[in-house]
Amino acid sequence: MGDGGIIVTADPVLAERARLLREYGWAERYVSRLPGLNSRLDELQAAILRVKLGHLDADNARRARLAALYGEGLSGTGLGLPRCRPGVTHVYHLYVVRANRRDALQGFLASRQIGALIHYPVPVHMQPAYRDRLRGADRLPESERAAREVLSLPIYPEMFEDDVQAVVKAVHAFQEQSRD
């Protein structure tokens, strides 16, 4: 439903700091200049979420069903697919895959009007706000590799199964095009 709030100041330094603090310390998306928060929930959002909470189990089950369809359709494509440990329930807030040619795949999907996002392209240990705060984290190759490979495919409870199949079909088309 949106975000809201207000801070009024004539001090440009204070205004900039408030802007950074309200959203993870981001000066630009996914790049924290300083340690910040996510402090964007207002009363209207809380009221809406209170109603939506009654649908949470059904929404989680729906996303799990869509994730299963992705898993079936994308197996054998060479993508790294999400895995769930036995006895654990995954809610699939995001459906994140790993792709060696992530940027090319994202562009291909975009050309077919499929929105796939790169969440957190800069690992925490490389964020300006945290660079000197994590001892021994000057190089974390697995985190850095994941940041280059992860791609979030569309998933939400209201998504149609045909839409999942369209994404799967597009990924397969990308794979075919890449082999040529």
pTM equals: 0.78
Residue 34 host element (H or E) = none
pLDDT in tens, the chain (180 residues): 555 567 889 999 999 998 888 888 888 888 898 888 887 677 888 888 889 899 999 999 999 999 999 999 999 999 999 998 999 999 999 999 999 999 999 999 999 999 999 998 999 888 888 877 777 777 789 999 999 999 999 999 999 999 999 999 999 999 999 886
Q: What is the DSSP string of 41-101?
A: --HHHHHHHHHHGGGHHHHHHHHHHHHHHHHHHHTTSSPBPP---TT-----SSEEEE-TT
Per-residue confidence (pLDDT) for residue 92, from 0 to 100: 96
107 φ/ψ sector (left φ>0, alpha ψ -120 to 50, else beta): alpha
Per-residue confidence (pLDDT) for residue 134, from 0 to 100: 72
CB 91 within 8 A of CB 63: yes
Residue from 3, 4, 5, 35 nearest 17 by CA: 35
C-alpha gyration radius of the chain? 19
Per-residue confidence (pLDDT) for residue 76, from 0 to 100: 93
Domains in the chain: ranges and CATH: 1-40 (no CATH), 54-179 (3.90.1150.10)
